[in-house]
């Protein structure tokens, strides 16, 4: 994403590599929309990824606190409860019935903070649902500067929330600056047209052209 943003930010700021100022309202609209979509995608993807990491940490803590041997092999195997490889494994049966591990997917059993909805989202089978909701969450947090979120005391979560606020402020600053450039360009165009009209009128008066030709 960094190379893309490096190429794209000059356009979003209203200045291209050739010095051309975007004066089209539709061009500015689509540039801003694309930037917010890209930012929402990055924030939402990070939120979902960090949510998965928190679930993984909860399950690892449950495995560490249990007396089940080799339970960590079930955390990242990707087979799930329907995996035929572990269907007759007594260790798997003990782990799948572990109460502390099951509590990792309950609302108030583990301090997930801003990742609480992401935990529920991990149980969805549809990848479209997971992506669209993550994108919506990213849009929402950028638009509100994460004002509706209260992070837990986990340092990484607090830093991620601070990063969302910073990205939101940066985008709003770029948006305001882009609008100012757009308005200044319109004023400059009107001023240039007015000066050009005055120069033409002075030239015609100097040439003493008839009124009907002016």
Q: Which two tokens stand for residue 126?
A: 């549809």
Q: Please state, as a whole number, how many other Cβ atoms lie within 10 Å of the Cβ of residue 213.
A: 7
Over residues 139-149, the mean pLDDT reads: 88
> Strand pairing partners for 15?
21
Alpha carbons within 13 angstroms on the beta-carbon side of residue 26 total: 0
Q: Flag whether the pTM goes above 0.85.
A: no
Question: Which of 89-98, 117-126, 134-143, 147-156 bottoms out in mean pLDDT, i.e. has the lowest?
Answer: 89-98
Looking at residue 195, its pLDDT comes to: 82
Looking at residue 20, its pLDDT comes to: 46
Is pLDDT at 99 greater than 60 in this prediction?
yes
Q: Name the nearest CA neighbour of 176 among 9, 32, 21.
A: 32
Looking at residue 21, its pLDDT comes to: 46
**pLDDT tier at 19 (50, 70, 90 boundaries)?**
very low
**pLDDT tier at 25 (50, 70, 90 boundaries)?**
low
Question: Which of 65-79, 93-107, 117-131, 178-192 bottoms out in mean pLDDT, i.e. has the lowest?
Answer: 65-79
Report whether 40 contacts 138 (CB < 8 A): yes
The b-or-e profile of 54-92 (16+ CB within 10 A means b, else e) is bbeebbeebbeeeebeebeebeeeeeeeeeeebeeeeeb
Looking at residue 16, its pLDDT comes to: 52
Query: Using one digit for the tens of pLDDT, what is the confidence trace for 165-212?
Result: 999 998 888 878 777 777 777 788 788 888 888 877 777 777 666 666
Which helix (DSSP H) or strand (DSSP E) does residue 174 occupy?
helix 155-206
More confident residue, 158 or 110: 158
**pLDDT tier at 64 (50, 70, 90 boundaries)?**
confident
> Strand pairing partners for 21?
15
């Amino acid at each position: 994403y960094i190379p893309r943003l490096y190429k794209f930010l000059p356009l979003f700021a209203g200045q291209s590599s050739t010095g051309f100022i975007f004066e089209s309202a539709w061009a500015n609209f689509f540039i801003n929309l694309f930037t917010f979509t890209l930012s929402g995608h990055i924030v939402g993807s990070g939120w979902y990824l960090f949510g998965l990491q928190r679930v993984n940490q909860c399950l690892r803590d449950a495995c560490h606190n249990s007396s089940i041997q080799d339970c960590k092999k079930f955390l990242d195997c990707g087979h799930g409860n329907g995996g035929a490889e572990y269907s007759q494994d007594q260790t798997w049966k003990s782990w799948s019935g572990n109460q502390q591990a099951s509590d990792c997917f309950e609302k108030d059993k583990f301090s997930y903070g801003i990742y609480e909805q992401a935990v529920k989202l991990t149980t969805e089978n549809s990848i479209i649902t997971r992506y669209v909701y993550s994108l919506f969450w990213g849009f929402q947090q950028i638009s509100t500067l994460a004002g509706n979120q209260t992070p837990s005391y986990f340092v990484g979560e607090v830093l991620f929330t601070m990063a969302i606020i910073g990205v939101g402020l940066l985008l709003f600053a770029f948006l305001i600056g882009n609008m100012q450039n757009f308005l200044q360009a319109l004023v400059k165009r009107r001023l240039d047209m007015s000066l050009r009209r005055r120069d033409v009128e002075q030239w015609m008066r100097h040439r003493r052209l008839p009124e009907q030709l002016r």
